[in-house]
Amino acid sequence: MGRTRLGRLAAVTVPATVVSLGFGYAMLQGMVSAQLSAAEPFQVTGASANATGLEVSLRSVTTATSNDNGAETEKKSALVTLKNGNLNDLCLAANQPVPLLGNIGVNLTANGNVNLGAVTDMSADDVAAASATLPSTEIGVAQSQLDHQKDVAKGYAPGGWGLESTGAVQLNNLDAKTYALSLGSLDLSSGLRILPKLGTATC
| pTM greater than 0.85 | no
pLDDT tens-digit map of 166-185: 999 999 999 999 888 887 77
Q: Residue 16 and residue 32: Cα distance in Å, rounded?
A: 18
pLDDT at 51: 95
pLDDT at 128: 92
pLDDT tens-digit map of 40-68: 788 999 999 999 999 998 876 666 554 45
Question: Is-contact 109 43, C-beta < 8 A?
Answer: no
CA 57 → CA 3, 143, 148, 168, 202, distances in Å?
Answer: 52, 7, 11, 19, 27
pLDDT tens-digit map of 101-152: 788 888 889 888 888 888 888 888 889 999 999 999 999 888 888 887 666 6
